[in-house]
Amino acid sequence: MTPRRLTAALAALVAFSLTAAAAPVSYALQADRSVVAFETDYGDQGLKIRGRMPVLKADLVLDFDAVANSSVTVSVDAAGSTTSNPLATEAMLGRTVLDTRAYPTIDFQSTGVRRNGDGAKVTGNLTVRGVTRPVTFDAVIYRQKGTEAGDRSNLSILLTGAISRSAFGASGFADLVGDEVRLRILARITRAD
């Protein structure tokens, strides 16, 4: 994260903590502006496979005063995933990795949210290929560009973390592709009043 973005994030979090919210607030996803980016290692020469998955839907409830009352549910279009390499995309969508014909979505349901420094830790259940495992993401909330301090109507949530693809049965091409998949989920949301 660049120093400018870090400063903006800290300023946004300070503004959120100083402006009291009466209760949890529901937010609607701006699906066309939200995405899951991923990266994994390829080969033994330090190469990376990078790609994106569209976010289909999300239900978000945020409580800035009592973070534990917040919740996140996200569904991702696994079948719409792409990588920078068409052959890698085809392999990733295939039966031995994501098997998107049988499992076209990837789903996440939070089970807990707690403050962690200037952000939060979001724990929950991730379902890939019909296999559900517990995961934890780091989360930071930003005001969207052009909004004023204290304005919570349009926000961006950045979730980051990593998973083991083999833990979900997505173990194909293990001789070429790393097991760890690093995730960067950007959800742009609008207050649903």
Residue 149 banded pLDDT, cuts 50, 70, 90: confident
> What pLDDT sits at residue 3?
45
Phi, psi of 5 (to 5 degrees): -70, -40
Residue 144 banded pLDDT, cuts 50, 70, 90: confident
Residue with tokens 């903590």: 17
Average predicted confidence (pLDDT) for the chain? 89
Query: Is the Cα torsion angle 3, 182, 118, 152 positive or negative in sign?
Result: positive
> What pLDDT sits at residue 91?
95
Q: If we measure between CA atoms, which residue out of 137, 142, 141 comes closest to residue 113?
A: 137
Q: Which pLDDT tens digit goes with each residue over 155-191?
A: 999 999 999 999 999 999 999 999 999 999 999 999 9
- 170 sits in which H/E element: none
CATH class of 3-191: mainly beta
> What pLDDT sits at residue 183?
97
Quote the pTM value: 0.84
Q: Are 156 and 188 in contact (CB under 8 A)?
A: yes
> What pLDDT sits at residue 193?
74
Q: Domains of the chain: which residue ranges?
A: 3-191
Residue 46 banded pLDDT, cuts 50, 70, 90: confident
Name the residue with higher pLDDT: 99 or 23: 99
Residue 17 banded pLDDT, cuts 50, 70, 90: very low
Q: Are 183 and 160 in contact (CB under 8 A)?
A: yes
